[in-house]
Chain A
Amino acid sequence: MASPKLQAEHIHTAFMRDGKSMPVLQDINLEVADGEFVCLLGPSGCGKSTLLSTMAGFLSPSSGEIKIDGQVVRGPDPRRIFVFQERGVFPWLTVEGNIAFGLFRLDEAERKKRVAHYVKMVGLEGFEKAYPAALSGGMKQRLEVARALAVNPDMLFLDEPFGALDSITRLTMRGELLRIWEAERKTIIFVTHDIDEAVQLSDRVVLLSARPATIQQIVHIDIPHPRDISSARYLELRDGIFKQIGLAHRL
């Protein structure tokens, strides 16, 4: 691909547990293009969150390196914002306060403008002065996304952001995320264990094996958005992943 946005080269990561070395990531090699939406899919505990944290610069790999825009990643950076689950919003700040959190280098007028823009974008008008305790799970998640977007990053890392939400809210939020992605075209790397979520959202699905994680397969989802989840191609791709992971069709 033409000058990838993110390159993961020979990433090996092992943790020390009780004096023994426990490998978590094994020889991960991946390239992500600018503006792409990529899902890391795998069973719980396989190490996909570790991989995401490494890409974001919160963890150092035991060997190998992550390069973003050609530069080696050495730490977190506002150009690539990590979105946790909804409990990542700061409970002591209002909605406005949270969104404005990363904007401390701007002057007041510019800050107000940006905050208003992103409040509107995620649909939280009317709640500007509310504290997170007064918001629902879905609203808090939207707040966290708004906070991330407000600093205009190139990349977003999302770690199972919708995991704590009910399934109906989850469906709505997926649509919201796609809408925002199409408007702003950030590069998004999204961790999930939900196969449908991965096939609905991403351009490519990276299947990770159980620990120690290696890349089992990369599935290219070639359906244009908006995706019809009852279309034949969708079901074909989805079933393919089911089989690859080794799951049966009947409960």
Chain B
Amino acid sequence: MIVRLRPLALIVVLLLLWQITVSRAPAHILPTPWAVAIGMGELLQHGLLLKYVVASLFRVTWGFVLAVVLAVPLGLVIGWNRRADMAFNPLIQVLRPISPLAWIPIAILWFGVGDLAAIFLIFLGCFFPLLLTSINAVQNIPAVYLNAGRNFGLSPAAVVARVLFPAVIPQLIVGMRITLGVGWLVVVAAEMIAVNSGLGFLIVDARNAGDRYDLVVAGMVIIGLIGLMLDIGMRSLQQLKSLRWSYSED
């Protein structure tokens, strides 16, 4: 029991250090932890927090789901067919390192300022990692699985449905968990720059409309916590028994 509390103790110690350093500092710009907590309460009271959280989650969900629906099938096909891999790989490798945020001018040009632009950016941020994960997952299927499928007389379609798909799902789920995290990072950044609601916007707005750094940090903490919860949620998917065969430990 005591051991479980140690991480909490560390956080408490750091919070105390934070509180003390800021109180001592001459220019009281950086907020104390206490001020941040009060700030969070304030946001909850005004109902603003819930609205912003929902907005951010909404965008992430749409962008992420769109990315899954497009990237996974495409990735499976490209991973399956060597020539497709040869054809598309250079394009993917050049587009992938372009930060989704660098697409902002294009996004605004095509979709205007608003939800659609943000969803587009999240989609971009999720699409490439998922695509690469899917390609990789197919290429990593041990040949023995596929040979066994063909040995038992399965048609190509049946091999895909009954061997390929179950074999790639564990890796896909890990990829989706990581990509969801990326999506969460992108939505915050996109909201800081391109839209007028959401947690990212909260941070920018709190600062611009009055230097409310207590709200800024409150926003950051909430972003961290929600991101963590999304991650834990996805990890519980990995616990499903039918998928656990692939995870020796996580």
- Do A and B come into direct contact in the complex, CB within 8 Å? no
> Chain A residues in contact with chain B, CB under 8 A?
none
